[in-house]
Structure 1
Amino acid sequence: MKYLLFLSLIGFTSADFKPRKYRIDLDLPPDQRWNQVIRENIEVIPLIAEEAKKYIPSFIQPVVWPIARALGNLLPKDIHEELKGISRESGLPLGEVVGLNILYDITAFDRKHILYEGCTSIVLQDKRGNIFHGRNLDYEMQDLLKSMTIYVDFVKNNTILYSGVTFALYNGLLTGQRPNAYTVTLNERYSGAYIDNILMEFVTRFQRPVSYFIREVLESETTFDSAVRTFSKTHLIAPCYIIVGGVKPEQGVVISRNRWSAADIYSLTPERWYLVETNFDHWKKDDDGRRIKAMKLLDTIGKEDIDEQLLFGVLSSNPVQNNNTIYSTVLSAKYPRLLYKSLIIRV
């Protein structure tokens, strides 16, 4: 019965495929870490750069790229050096590389968006107390981003410190895990005005674009509790939803972030065995078809029967999976191999 239910939910096709897998050695000089990634994706990198430029008015591009290059000097030193190496290997100007990597932080505010950035994240607990964390990443520029999606193990002292899914040319993380500790995904939250982003760039001295902040936490925080505290309290440039799953029962939260701190922390409880986040505050009227559909399916399956396969099936159902879905995966810090094993690029 469970298998038949899974088959009724799944939406992947024979054309769906797995991304390339890379190893980023954190013991290497930062400007050399991404060399293999860039060299093996060099044919599509100029295409994604040109496509991304379409979302930035041409008349301000002569100003945007020099400003982005200057902002790069304010980023954490290792991140900036990595970007310099990516620029060197790709042949793209450093300002463009920096600008493309901070696109989220300069476009996340309350308005009709120039980019459609969706995403669905689900964190839940099964009957045995296992925590599973599902993720669909939705974005425009689908065809190009699908060709550039990569899986990365970040290695230090020959040991995997943390892992994630990202894009060639992009050295931040929107989906990641620290093995046997916690998993994390980022969903966009539209809140505040553009001036708020500018203000927070001054307050944070541009040290914390969100995707780099996720890498920083994965590298430094060793437990679910410490990660949740840091994700909740640290000043950020842009609002967002940070979804975190742990390894113990009830270790699952949706952190609805303002720029200064958490607006809300929504947690698993004995009575609430799953949390679904798309791009809307959970305490407001819910008219989002993705979240409504996911919740209905989870209620139908129930805590007694849910497992990683059925969770993947929920992610695969329409409209949870949609025309903007780049990839889907299920994570579990307790079973770290699941991240790559379940990872599928949607076609």
Structure 2
Amino acid sequence: MARFCILCLIAFISVTSAQFIPPYTEDCRTDMYPPKGPTFKGTVSWYTIDLDLPPHKRWTSLITEKKKDLDNMIQVIRDLAKAFVPSGRLIELVDVTLPLMVNTLPNPFKDEIKGIALDSGIPLGEITLFNIFYEVFTVCTSVVAEDSKGNLLHGRNLDFGLFMGHPRVDSGQRDGMWMSFLTRSVLENATSYDNARYALAQTKLLAPAYFILGGNQSGQGCIITRSRELSLDLLELNVKLGRWYVLETNYDHWEEPFFLDDRRTPAMTCMNKTTQTNISIKTLYDMLSTKPVLNKLTTYTTLMQVSEGTLESYIRDCPNPCMPW
């Protein structure tokens, strides 16, 4: 029994420390941009969503084109649900109860979700479920940095793969808004950095969230740590204090990250090695390409520089050996 306990302890230590030793981590990558090699799977496809159309028709063209992919993704989730509840009652519950939630949503999201369900032929409850899912589970690494000339750069790894069928914005009204709906609303309606920051900090939400906001002038970058009701903390760029970047990885920045999911330390190590003088779209991509910042959940990397009109997104892969998150 004692020997078994020792073996268990060794196994636990091995798992918890794997993130911090090669090959699951590595020296900060260099010369990864322009994207190439085994971590690059291609550029993200771009689609135009016409917001002048009636809400229920806005996503018809895209959903029609991607219907098979959406069906396949939905089936994976159904199979997973049946593995936990073989009777199928979980899916039945989703299909019966969640449609009742849709009519409580603000427009235009309510009608857009109904339109997606109609166009895809997927039950409204299941489409609603995937919109809720992002509110409670998402993992990413996001950074806003200011170079030595005062230019703002924003980079992000999205470590999440289930976003087809969501009429929302992940990168880029009223009480209890869903986080991603609020993000889209701000991008559509905010007229300034200050206006966007206020909306993201003050609008009541359904769940806690982190918002990473970048502008186009020196000092315009922040992490907004939110509870449902209010802003808990605002960490802003301040070059005079040496804070030329702010970086968020799904944990309160004043707390230590979960020991099995410390992407913050390697990301900040690479940012500090890069220095403000050398930060650029190129070196930002290098940081976001370094394991475990890049991991098995990483779906795409987005790079932005508002002053130059730069918005690039690349589909990613993390070949083995690679951390699962």
Please give the range of the TM-score, normalised by the shorter of the 2 chains: 0.7 to 0.9
SS at match of 1:311: helix
Question: Greater CA radius of gyration, 1 or 2?
Answer: 2
How far off is 1:11 after superposition?
8.0
- Aligned pair count reads 279
Matching residue of 2:68: 43
Q: CA deviation at 1:63?
A: 2.0
- Once the two structures are superposed, residues 39-74 of structure 1 have per-residue CA deviations (whole angstroms, 9 ceiling, x without a partner) of 111111111112233258543332223221111001
- What is residue 168 of structure 1 aligned with on the other side? 164
Q: Which amino acid aligns with 1:171?
A: P
Map 1:137-176 onto structure 2 (within 5 A).
137-139=158-160, 142=161, 145=162, 167-176=163-172
Q: CA deviation at 1:98?
A: 1.6
What is aligned with 2:12? none
Q: 1:1-347 to 2 correspondence within 5 Å?
A: 6-7=30-31, 13=37, 16-53=41-78, 54=80, 57=85, 58-105=88-135, 108=136, 117-139=138-160, 142=161, 145=162, 167-176=163-172, 204=175, 208-270=177-239, 271-286=242-257, 287=259, 288-336=261-309, 338-339=310-311, 342-347=312-317
Per-residue CA deviation, residues 111-132 of structure 1 (Å, 9 max, x unaligned), is: xxxx6x3200011100110111
- Aligned with 1:236: secondary structure? coil
State the secondary structure of the residue aligned to 2:68: coil
CA distance in 2, matches of 1:41, 1:9: 29
AA in 1 matched with 2:125: G
1:12: how far off?
5.0
Once residues 299 and 34 of structure 2 are traced to their aligned partners in structure 1, the CA distance between those partners, rounded to angstroms, is 16
On the 8 A contact 2:50/2:58 being kept in 1, the answer is yes
Q: TM-score, normalised by structure 1?
A: 0.75
Identity of aligned residues (%): 34
> For 1:134-168, what per-residue CA distance to the aligned partner results, in whole angstroms no more than 9, with x for missing partners?
100112xx5xx5xxxxxxxxxxxxxxxxxxxxx43
Match of 1:243, SS state, is strand
Q: Equivalents in 2 of 1:173, 1:8: separation in Å? A: 27
| Greater shift in the superposed pair: 279-288 or 322-331 | 279-288
Query: Which structure shows the bigger proportion of residues in strand conformation?
Result: 1
- Alpha carbons of 1:89 and 1:9: their partners in 2 closer, same or farther (altered >3 Å)? closer
The TM-score, its normalising length taken from structure 2, stands at 0.80
Q: AA paired with 1:248?
A: Q
Unaligned runs of 5+ in 1: 109-114, 146-166, 177-202
CA–CA separation in structure 1 for the residues paired with 2:31 and 2:266: 17
- Secondary structure of residue in 1 paired with 2:222: strand
RMSD: 2.2
Post-superposition Cα deviations, 1:3-57, rounded to whole Å, max 9, x if no partner, equal x973169985255111221111111111111111111111111111122332585
Q: Secondary structure at the match of 1:43?
A: helix
Structure 2 gap segments, 5+ residues each = 1-27, 318-325
Residue 4 of structure 2 is matched in structure 1 by none
